[in-house]
């Protein structure tokens, strides 16, 4: 089975979020299962600093963009530690920029044109490289036109007739909405700009195009697949998803077990497994407290949060609870992340006023993220919505008990056997659930059972990749 994974980012070439982790890890596992995956993404400026060899193929191509034609070039590399090919679409006017999608907090004004070009390039590469492709697996709005071009312009051409298309939604909130005149850039007939296909409240919507034209649709957890079929998580496209519910499925993302393994993690003060977790976590907790300037208090619960300081991640609830608890409860807190300036100011103030209880690192540090996962007792993920989530999986693997809001992938992974969850999105519900967690922490036998259950579960890509193989087979059958 030949799979071409089209994406706007993939580790280690370019990353802004979880999409890159998926598109860097899933192909490796698919190859282990006997599939023949390849990845295609734009040749951004930063791909040249990924540390991997990149070969210029000497292949140029021309695609129409509105009333003009644009020349592109092809580069090739491979994913680390394997022979999965990675094709890089080079067009320096579009992609030789410091950031992937925007600068100074604003999207690039030509994002529609940039990714129209990329979507056309995906289809052209199949012909140029004489690739055998059974399924094109497109991801998020940046590849939303791939399925449309396949069905409208390429379906009757040799080697394209039986290619199936899968479109994966990683976050419904990001839809690629552009003014209606950008329809001209696509080169597609205006007849497709209608409320059944590409139009959304007078704008061109590339995510909607992906949903309409794909043979199969998936998203990154079973619960999220249900939630996006209604408001508010459908973000206005719930009607489209209801109409296509028979081809919609949810597959949990996996975690990279090579990167996240407390037995071999080089960032930790002590390595451990399920048999040595008590001693290992104690050493990691003491080292983390020292690093953060917190008192060495082995019996005080240490609560961690890692993520964007944005209300989607529930940081407003976290801020409210910490302010209520900090003067009344014997708990330590560590916050790692960046985001809205008002939360930067708030956590800086709390850390300054209560240095014995609150540590705030307003940055992103991968090594520190690993040390927090290992050294914390409790990990907070009170997200307003969470398509899948990975940190709760890392926490389980590291023997850190999650406290989450039961939404999306958090609801699919956290149960009373391995953590704590709440339903209503408010700080009272979070506070009550965190009280329950802290009370259980003070009962060592019950706490050890939670840890043992979490560490015994397999959240690697192996299981998820098998589900994708089945979905690819179903997609191929649908094109029959």
Do 418 and 475 lie in one domain? The reply is no
Report the alpha-carbon distance of residue 80 to residue 76 in Å, rounded.
13
* pLDDT 10s digits, 272-305: 999 999 999 999 999 999 999 999 999 999 999 9
CA atoms of 204 and 417, how far apart (whole Å): 45
**Helix 366-375 × helix 277-292 angle, to 10°:** 130
Are 182 and 282 within one domain? no
Same domain, 382 and 474: no
* Alpha-carbon span 364 to 366, nearest angstrom: 7
Give the CA-trace dihedral at 193, 229, 135, 24, to 10 degrees.
110
Q: Is position 261 within any domain?
A: no
Percentage above 70 pLDDT, the chain? 100
* pLDDT score for 331: 97
- The whole-angstrom separation of Cα 55 and Cα 69 is 25
Calculate ∠ Cα 315-317-320, nearest 5°.
110
User: What is the Cα–Cα distance from 419 to 406, expressed in whole angstroms?
Assistant: 11
Q: What's the confidence (pLDDT) of residue 105?
A: 81
Could you report the per-residue pLDDT of 421-477, keeping only the tens digit for each?
Answer: 999 999 999 999 999 999 999 999 999 999 999 999 999 999 999 999 999 999 999
438 with 301: CB under 8 angstroms? Answer: yes
Q: Is the pLDDT of residue 28 over 90?
A: yes
For residue 107, give the CATH number of its domain: 3.40.50.2000
Query: How many C-beta neighbours within 10 Å does residue 83 have?
Result: 7
Q: Is residue 207 part of a domain?
A: yes
At residue 256 the predicted structure's pLDDT band, cuts being 50, 70 and 90, is confident
Residue 259 lies in a domain: no
Q: Does 241 reside within a domain?
A: yes
Confidence bin at 138 (pLDDT 50/70/90): very high
Is the domain of 305 the same as that of 362? yes
Given this model, what pLDDT does residue 424 score?
97
Alpha-carbon distance 416 to 419, whole Å? 5
**236 and 318 housed in the same domain:** no
Q: Average pLDDT in the 186-199 region?
A: 97
Residue 215 shares a structural domain with residue 323: no
- Whole-angstrom Cα distance, residue 450 to residue 293? 28
**pLDDT recorded at residue 259:** 87
> Which residue matches tokens 């209520």?
324
- Same-domain check for residues 446 and 475: no
The verdict on residue 14 lying in a domain is yes
In a domain, 265, yes or no: no
Look at residue 270 and tell me if it is in a domain: no
pLDDT higher than 90, residue 17: no
Domain range spanning residue 173? 2-254+462-479
Flag whether 475 is in a domain: yes
> Model confidence over 392-409: pLDDT tens digits?
999 999 999 999 999 999
Whether 195 and 189 have beta carbons less than 8 Å apart is answered as no
- Tell the residue number behind the tokens 């408010």, with chain if given: 426
Same domain, 424 and 473: no
Residues 240 and 98 both lie in one domain: yes
Q: What is the mean pLDDT of residues 106-114?
A: 96
**What is the average pLDDT score of the chain?**
96
- Could you say which DSSP state residue 460 is in? B
Q: What percent of the chain has pLDDT over 90?
A: 94
Say yes or no: 467 and 454 in one domain.
no
In the prediction, which pLDDT does 184 show? 97
Tell me how many domains the chain contains. Answer: 2
pLDDT at 183: 98
Rounded mean pLDDT of 75-100? 96
403/414 Cα distance (integer angstroms):
8
Do 317 and 181 lie in a common domain?
no
∠ CA 197-238-147, nearest 5°, is 35
pLDDT at 258 over 90: no
Quick: pLDDT tens for 34-61: 999 999 999 999 999 998 999 999 999 9
> What confidence score (pLDDT) does residue 20 get?
92
Whether residue 296 is found in the same domain as residue 417: yes
């Amino acid at each position: 089975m030949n799979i071409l994974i089209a994406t706007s980012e993939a580790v280690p070439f370019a990353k802004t979020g979880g999409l890159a982790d998926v598109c860097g890890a899933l192909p490796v596992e698919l190859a282990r299962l006997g599939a023949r995956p390849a990845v295609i993404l734009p040749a951004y400026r930063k791909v040249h600093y990924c540390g991997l060899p990149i070969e210029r193929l000497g292949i140029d191509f021309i695609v129409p963009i509105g009333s003009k034609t644009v020349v592109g070039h092809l580069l090739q590399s491979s994913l680390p530690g394997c022979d999965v090919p990675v094709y890089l679409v080079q067009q320096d006017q579009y992609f030789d920029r410091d950031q992937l999608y925007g600068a100074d907090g604003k999207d690039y004004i030509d994002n529609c044109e940039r990714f129209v070009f990329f979507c056309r390039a995906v289809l052209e590469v199949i012909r140029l490289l004489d690739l055998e492709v059974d399924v094109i697996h497109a991801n998020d709005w940046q590849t939303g036109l791939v399925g449309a071009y396949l069905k409208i312009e390429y379906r009757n051409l040799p080697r394209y007739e039986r290619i199936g298309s899968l479109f994966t939604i990683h976050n419904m909130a990001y839809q690629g909405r552009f003014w209606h005149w950008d329809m001209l850039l696509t080169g597609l007939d205006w007849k497709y700009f209608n409320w059944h296909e590409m139009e959304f409240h007078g704008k061109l919507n590339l995510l909607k195009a992906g949903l309409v034209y794909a043979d199969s649709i998936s998203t990154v957890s079973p619960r999220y697949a249900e939630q996006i079929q209604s408001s508010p998580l459908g973000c206005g496209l719930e009607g489209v998803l209801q109409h296509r519910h028979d081809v919609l499925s949810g597959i949990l993302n996996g975690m990279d077990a090579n990167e996240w393994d407390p037995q071999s993690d080089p960032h930790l003060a002590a390595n451990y497994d399920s048999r040595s977790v008590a001693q290992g976590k104690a050493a990691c907790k003491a080292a983390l407290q020292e690093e953060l300037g917190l008192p060495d208090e082995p019996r005080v619960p240490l609560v961690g949060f890692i993520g964007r300081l944005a209300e989607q991640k529930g940081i407003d609830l976290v801020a409210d609870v910490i302010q209520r608890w900090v003067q009344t409860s014997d708990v330590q807190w560590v916050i790692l992340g960046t985001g809205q300036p008002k939360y930067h100011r708030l956590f800086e103030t709390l850390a300054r006023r209560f240095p014995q209880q609150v540590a705030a690192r307003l940055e992103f540090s991968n090594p520190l993220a690993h040390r927090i996962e290992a050294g914390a007792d409790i990990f907070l993920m009170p997200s307003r919505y969470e398509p899948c989530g990975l940190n709760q999986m890392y926490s389980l693997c590291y023997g850190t008990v999650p406290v989450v809001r039961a939404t999306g992938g958090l609801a699919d992974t956290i149960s009373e056997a391995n953590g704590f969850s709440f339903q209503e999105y408010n700080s009272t519900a979070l506070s009550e659930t965190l009280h329950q967690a802290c009370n259980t922490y003070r009962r060592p036998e019950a706490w050890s059972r939670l840890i043992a259950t979490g560490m015994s579960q397999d959240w690697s890509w192996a299981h998820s990749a098998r589900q994708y193989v089945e979905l690819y087979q179903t997609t191929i059958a649908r094109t029959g």
